[in-house]
Amino acid sequence: MAAVYLREMEPGDRDEVAELICLSTNYWYQAHGHPLIFPKGPSTTTLHFDVYHSLPGSGGIVAIDSRTDRIVGSCFRHDRPTHVSLGIMNVHPNHFGRGVARMLLESIIAFGEGQGKPIRLVSSAMNLDSFSLYTRAGFVPRCAYQDMYIAVPEAGMGESHAALSRVRVAIADDVEQITALEREISGIKRPGDFAHFIADQEGVWHVCVSETEDGVLDGVLVSCQHPGCTMIGPGVSRTAEPAAALLLAQLNHNCGRTPVFLLPVEAEELVRQAYAWGARNCETHFHQIRGDFPGFHGISMPTFMPETG
């Protein structure tokens, strides 16, 4: 069998990587009795390539079959000030068993170690193969999340919350406070991400913040409205109250859509509130970290795209 080698993603890889993401992800879910994740095809999965090549410090790696010169595996990598994040990883089903995923992961680990930074990812608890791949490589599950979704009526949620009046749309001047808040709660720092979301050059991001009467931010939550990623997150909040208000605001921004969001399983009050609004569970995910972990000191709501660590 021909060898497989790795190289950095290039602009010309965009369509082939999108095809691989769509095919590989749909194959896994369908093989395990679940609906297709990307039913509209690879035109929706170009978002991954586009976002990871526009966020500061991000990019990707591809695995190439030396006989065909075809891409048989891919993953995205994001070098942030405090850590390295591993984004979505895919291997072509025809090339399972060749160690492609392990090669890609080892390259990310080598990069993170070279930077002297911990590596973070969010992985499906349903996929035991990937779970084993990561834990064998030294990643430790630090938080479990309930993947939940709500079908938002065209007219909005029709719900109220006591802290909703404290929620507003974020502006560029909020980035410094947002960065400090996430560092306090999740121990990470990534101002470039939030500046990118607020600028919204792709036309798919919406950012809300919650602030106290003194004008201090106590929560932030992003949402993405794209055919390949209708999600609420990333976000952080000091307590459940602003987190719930932010979630309601983002649900109302997604009228007529069915967004997915991740809530920490231990955030009991927030989870109960989501259930009361009609949320249902669809999956579970783990927050896994290789290296230093300062702990969570509040509520963290990650996403998969971009992987938010």
- CB 28, CB 86: distance < 8 Å: no
For residues 283-305, average pLDDT: 94
Q: Are residues 155 and 281 in the same domain?
A: yes
Same domain? 287 vs 178: yes
Domain with 34 in it: what CATH number?
A: 3.40.630.30
pLDDT 10s digits, 155-182 = 999 999 999 999 999 999 999 999 999 9
pLDDT digits (tens, 9 = 90+) for 226-247: 988 899 999 999 999 999 999 9
Residue 244 forms part of a structural domain: yes
> At a CB cut-off of 8 Å and minimum separation 6, what does 255 contact?
152, 153, 154, 155, 156
Residue 130 domain flag? no
pLDDT value of residue 309: 60
Mean pLDDT score, 62-72: 96
232 in the same domain as 168: yes
| Position 125 in a domain | no
Of 3-7, 19-23, 127-131, which range is least confident? Answer: 127-131
pLDDT level of residue 34 (50, 70, 90 thresholds):
confident
Would you say residue 285 has pLDDT above 70? yes
pLDDT for position 308: 67
Q: Is residue 124 part of a domain?
A: no
The reply to whether 111 and 150 lie within a common domain is no
Q: How confident is the model at residue 141 (pLDDT cuts 50, 70, 90)?
A: very high
How crowded is residue 304: how many other Cβ atoms within 10 Å of its Cβ? 21
**Whether residue 2 has pLDDT greater than 90:** no
Question: Residue 129: inside a domain, yes or no?
Answer: no
> 113 and 151, same structural domain?
no
Same domain, 293 and 176: yes
132 located within any domain: no
Asked whether residue 133 is assigned to any structural domain, the reply reads no
Residue 210: what pLDDT?
A: 98
Of all residues in the chain, what percent carry a pLDDT higher than 70? 99
Q: Are 293 and 187 in contact (CB under 8 A)?
A: yes
Could you give the number of structural domains in the chain? 2
Q: How far apart are CA 130 and CA 40, in angstroms?
A: 25
- Does residue 97 sit in the same domain as residue 155? no
Distance CA 267, CA 297 (A): 12
279, pLDDT greater than 80: yes
132: Cβ contacts below 8 Å, ≥ 6 apart: none
Nearest of 296, 284, 288, 302 to residue 112 by alpha carbon: 288
95 and 156 co-located in one domain:
no
Both 49 and 159 in one domain: the answer is no
Asked if residue 306 belongs to a domain, the reply is no
Which tokens go with 64?
A: 């190439």
Q: What is the mean pLDDT of the chain?
A: 94
The parent domain of residue 105 ranges over 4-117
Is the four-CA dihedral 28, 32, 33, 34 of positive or negative sign? negative
Model-wide pTM > 0.75: yes
Provide the residue type at 78 as one letter: H
Same domain flag for 10 and 76: yes
Looking at the structure, tell me whether residues 155 and 259 fall in a common domain.
yes
Strand, helix or coil for residue 45? coil
Higher pLDDT, 191 or 306: 191
Q: Among 98, 117, 136, give the residue marking a domain's end.
A: 117
Confidence at 35, pLDDT banded by 50, 70, 90 = confident
For every residue of 255-279, DSSP letters joined together read TT---EEEEETT-HHHHHHHHHTT-
Tell me: do 189 and 51 sit in the same domain: no
